[in-house]
Amino acid sequence: MAAAGRTEEAGRHAAHVMRSNPDHLVYLDHAATTPMVPAAFAAMEPYFAERFGNASSIYGLAQDARRAIDEARERCARVLGSRASEIIFTSGGTESDNAALMGAALALRERGRHIVTTQIEHHAVLSATELLTELGFEVAYVRPGKDGIVSPESVAAALRPDTTVVSVMLANNEIGTIQPVAAIAEQVRAASGSKRRIVLHTDAVQAPGLLPVDVDALGVDMLTLSAHKFGGPKGAGLLYVRRGTPFRPTQVGGAQERDRRAGTENTPGIVGMAAALEAAEAARAASVERCQTMRDSIIAGITERVEDARLNGHPTERLANNANLSLPGVEAEPLLMGLDLAGIAASSGSACTAASLEPSHVLLALGQSDNLARSSLRLTVGPENTAEEIAYTVDTVAALAAKLRRLAGSAKR
Ligand code: PLP
């Protein structure tokens, strides 16, 4: 109670500070996208203007772009612990996930047509496996435990002699749970035999700046990143493909990216992504510490002040910046609208469709009811957030939840 009293008091003070500047935006949706870091923006600028060459041409201006891309590739490879030649630049997380799943499955289709993934992947993976199903592949969707963790044993149990591709995300974008990818890799290797018959992909989009993304430590053959999730620009990403991994390019045309991804390279995006990835990795330890403190005050504040509120996902095996809570009896849509009016940008796992709020597929996979899955709130912090913003947010969520429950109660009467 004493702690709750203190958060309330801090909230009132913070509310005063925030309202004295109505333009102040409290941005708590870093899992959706992040503000660009100045180093990325500065690195990109010249490549929009005077250094505009197409990296595939032969004159000096073009070679300048080629050098910038090659250097960016080296820098990304250093962070991932890979060879530069194993990195394919793409337009972002969705393209990398699509290319990984389709590229490996198509390359290995004579060997087998069975794919293993999980029920809680991003739609960039799930929609790719749906497309592969239409093309005659079979897909097993492993269910996580109630805590959102996919056990290595459950992945091993789903493997068949004709399995060719396994895809398990490193950290979930909705509930922040961190999957035991290295242990899953061991299981996959054991089943795969010396010929490395099965390709293992991980969607690590949510990880940079919060978790290490070393491809050897993870033991993966493919790994997806998206620049805008770690302080880089939107529309840039990469796919790591371990040397020797069977891969059939699905974006075809020119010979860019060593014939693995056709299309003129997005020089500014690539250069910005490399700068952002290095900055995220350099700041990782400090960011984790800062974010974790704010995340924990959100979780403690909301669970103390909103009756029956509960945390979704594992309490500790989760990203340092992710608080995802279910607030029974509080619909996500009016809650998010109320938060927006109060100057707080937040999110819910539920997707808005024309008619209604679709419950989150991740929360349903955890065994939640449709109603509970429609009452989730995701707050993802970044290192630039402040303790005052967090106190104000907890205060606002508590007030809105009480109001929405009162309104729902009187509507029932
Ligand atoms: N995978 C995960 C886990 C994500 O969170 C996202 C972004 O929402 C994506 C893939 C897609 O990335 P992009 O927005 O770069 O297409």
Coil, strand, or helix at residue 101? Answer: helix
C-alpha distance from residue 130 to each of 204, 224, 365 (Å): 21, 19, 17
* pLDDT computed for residue 9 by the predictor: 60
- Asked whether 402 and 309 are in contact (CB, 8 A), the reply is no
**Measuring CA to CA, which residue among 83, 72, 67 is closest to residue 274?**
72
The Cα–Cα gap between 163 and 186 comes to: 15
Contacts of 379 (CB under 8 A, 6+ apart): 28, 29, 298, 323, 324, 346, 347, 393
User: Which of 286-317 are b and which e, b meaning 16 or more Cβ less than 10 Å from the residue's Cβ?
Assistant: ebbebbbebbebbbbbbbbbbeebebbbbeee
C-alpha gyration radius of the chain: 22
The Cα–Cα gap between 250 and 269 comes to: 21
Within 10 A of 217 (CB to CB), how many other CB atoms are there?
12
Number of H helices, E strands in the chain: 15, 14
Coil, strand, or helix at residue 316? Answer: coil
* pLDDT computed for residue 221 by the predictor: 98
- Asked whether 405 and 330 are in contact (CB, 8 A), the reply is yes
Strand segments, DSSP code E, in 135-277 are: 138-142, 163-167, 199-203, 222-226, 237-241
* pLDDT computed for residue 2 by the predictor: 47
Our answer on whether the CB atom of 273 is closer than 6 Å to any ligand 1 atom is no
Structure tokens at 394: 């907890």
* pLDDT computed for residue 1 by the predictor: 38
The DSSP symbol for 178 reads B
Contacts of 356 (CB under 8 A, 6+ apart): none
For the CA of 121, the closest atom of ligand 1 is 3
Our answer on whether the CB atom of 226 is closer than 6 Å to any ligand 1 atom is yes
- Asked whether 412 and 355 are in contact (CB, 8 A), the reply is no
To test the pocket of ligand 1, the residue of 170, 173, 378 to mutate (highest count of ligand atoms within 8 Å of its CB) is 173
For the CA of 92, the closest atom of ligand 1 is 15
The Cα–Cα gap between 271 and 45 comes to: 10
Structure tokens at 288: 């984790």
- Asked whether 204 and 237 are in contact (CB, 8 A), the reply is no
The Cα–Cα gap between 385 and 15 comes to: 15
Structure tokens at 99: 């290319």
Backbone dihedral region of 172: left (phi > 0), alpha (psi from -120 to 50 degrees) or beta?
beta
What is the distance between the terminal CA atoms of the chain, rounded to a whole angstrom? 31
To test the pocket of ligand 1, the residue of 205, 211, 238 to mutate (highest count of ligand atoms within 8 Å of its CB) is 205
The continuous run of DSSP H or E covering 131 comes out as helix 123-134
For the CA of 235, the closest atom of ligand 1 is 15
The alpha-helical segments, DSSP class H, found in 193-307 are: 215-218, 256-259, 267-282, 284-305
Active-site hit among 282, 352, 387, 408: 352
* pLDDT computed for residue 17 by the predictor: 52
The Cα–Cα gap between 246 and 103 comes to: 8
Strand segments, DSSP code E, in 28-86 are: none
Our answer on whether the CB atom of 92 is closer than 6 Å to any ligand 1 atom is yes
Distance 63 CA to ligand 1 centre (A): 31
| Known catalytic residue at 291 | no
Strand segments, DSSP code E, in 280-369 are: 310-311, 322-326, 344-345, 351-352, 357-358
The DSSP symbol for 36 reads P
Our answer on whether the CB atom of 237 is closer than 6 Å to any ligand 1 atom is yes
Our answer on whether the CB atom of 227 is closer than 6 Å to any ligand 1 atom is no
Nearest CA to ligand 1 atom 14: 93
Question: Strand 322-326 and strand 376-380: pairing?
Answer: antiparallel
For the CA of 228, the closest atom of ligand 1 is 15
pLDDT along the chain (413 residues), means of 10: 52 56 89 97 97 96 97 98 98 98 98 98 97 98 98 97 97 98 96 83 98 98 98 98 97 96 98 98 98 98 97 98 96 95 90 66 94 93 97 98 91 62
* Residue bearing tokens 């899953």: 184
Our answer on whether the CB atom of 94 is closer than 6 Å to any ligand 1 atom is yes
Question: Strand 222-226 and strand 237-241: pairing?
Answer: antiparallel
Farthest-apart Cα atoms in the chain, separation = 76
Our answer on whether the CB atom of 388 is closer than 6 Å to any ligand 1 atom is no
